[in-house]
A and B are shown apart, each in its own frame.
Chain A
Amino acid sequence: MERSRRSFLKLVGISTLGLGTLSAVDLLDKVDLRAQGFGPDPKALQGERWALVVDVEKLDEETTRKAIEACHLVHNVPHYEDYEEEIKWIWTDTYEHAFPGQEYDYLAEEVEERPFLLLCNHCSNPPCCRVCPTQATWQREDGVVMMDQHRCIGCRYCMAACPFGARSFNWKDPRTTYFKDKEPPNPRYPTRTKGVVEKCNLCAERLAEGSMPACVEAVKDTKAIVFGDLEDPHSEVRELLHEHFAIRRKPELGTSPNVYYIV
Chain B
Amino acid sequence: MLETALKGSKKYWLLLLILFGIHGAGATAFLYQLNKGLTVTGMSRDVSWGIYIAQFTFLVGVAASAVMVVLPYYLHNVKEFGKITILGEFLAVAAVNMCLLFILVDLGKPMRALNVILHPTPNSILFWDMVVLNGYLFLNIVIGWVVLSAERKQVPPPTWIKPVIYLSIPWAVSIHTVTAFLYAGLPGRHFWLTAIMAARFLGSAFAAGPALLIILCLIVRKVSKFDPGREAIQKVANIVLYAMIISIFFVLLELFTAFYSQVPGHMHGFVYDFVGLHGHGNLVPWTWAFAIMAVVATLMLLCPPLRKNETTLAIACLLVFFSLWIEKGITLVITGFIPNPLETITEYVPTLPELAITAGVWATGFLILTVLYKIAVSIKEEVGA
Contacts and interface: CB of A to CB of B under 8 A. Distances in A.
A171 B39 contact: yes
B9 interface: no
B343 A131 contact: no
A160 B108 contact: no
A155 B102 CA distance: 11
Nearest to A118: B342
Interface stretch (A49-57, A81-89, A238-246): A81-89
Contacts of B248: none
A196 B109 contact: yes
B385 to A, nearest CB: 43
B187 A253 contact: yes
Given A84-B45, A169-B45, A255-B187, A154 B109 contact: yes
Contacts of A13: none
Nearest to B333: A160
B188 A253 contact: yes
B342 A100 contact: yes
Contacts of B189: 160, 163
B154 interface: no
A81 to B, nearest CB: 13
Q: Is the interface of A mostly helix, strand, loop or mixed?
A: loop
A114 interface: no
A194 interface: yes
Interface string A109-133: 0000000000000000001001111
Interface string B300-315: 0000000000000000
Nearest to A96: B343
Nearest to A168: B45
Nearest to B42: A84
B383 interface: no
A130 B123 contact: yes
Given A130-B123, A134-B119, A160-B49, A170 B343 contact: no
B224 interface: no
A195 B337 CA distance: 20
Contacts of B103: 155
A134 B45 CA distance: 21
A156 interface: yes
B342 A130 contact: no
B125 interface: yes
Chain A CB within 10 Å, residue with most, of B123, B186, B340, B342:
B342
A47 to B, nearest CB: 25
Interface string A153-186: 1111101111111001111110000000000000
A131 B44 contact: no
A134 B37 contact: no
B336 A160 contact: yes
Q: Is the interface of B mostly helix, strand, loop or mixed?
A: loop
A97 B108 contact: no
Contacts of B186: 127, 131, 160-161
Contact of A169 (B48, B112, B119, B344): B48
Nearest to B127: A133
Interface in A221-263: 250, 253-255
A165 B45 CA distance: 8
B264 interface: yes
Contacts of A162: 188, 341
Contacts of B48: 156, 159-160, 169
A157 B343 contact: no
A93 interface: yes
Given A130-B123, A134-B115, A172-B36, A153 B340 contact: no
A132 B41 CA distance: 23
A136 B182 CA distance: 18
A231 B265 CA distance: 34
B37 A151 contact: no
Contacts of A132: 121, 124
B45 A97 contact: no
Contacts of B44: 83-85, 171
Contacts of B49: 156, 160
A135 interface: yes
A131 B39 contact: no
Nearest to B112: A153
Contacts of B121: 132-135
B106 interface: yes
A152 interface: yes
B116 interface: yes
A97 B343 contact: yes
Interface of B: 36-39, 41, 43-46, 48-49, 103, 106-110, 112-113, 115-116, 118-119, 121, 123-127, 130, 182, 185-189, 264-265, 336-337, 340-344, 346
20 contacts: A83-B346, A97-B344, A100-B342, A130-B123, A131-B186, A133-B130, A134-B121, A153-B113, A153-B116, A157-B124, A159-B45, A160-B49, A161-B186, A163-B188, A163-B189, A165-B342, A172-B36, A194-B36, A194-B37, A253-B187
Given A131-B124, A152-B109, A165-B342, 7 more contacts: A127-B188, A151-B115, A154-B38, A154-B109, A159-B48, A160-B186, A163-B341
Interface of A: 83-86, 93, 96-98, 100-101, 127, 130-136, 151-157, 159-165, 168-173, 194-197, 250, 253-255
Q: What are the nearest 6 A-B pairs in CB distance?
A: A154-B108, A163-B188, A195-B108, A84-B44, A194-B37, A171-B39
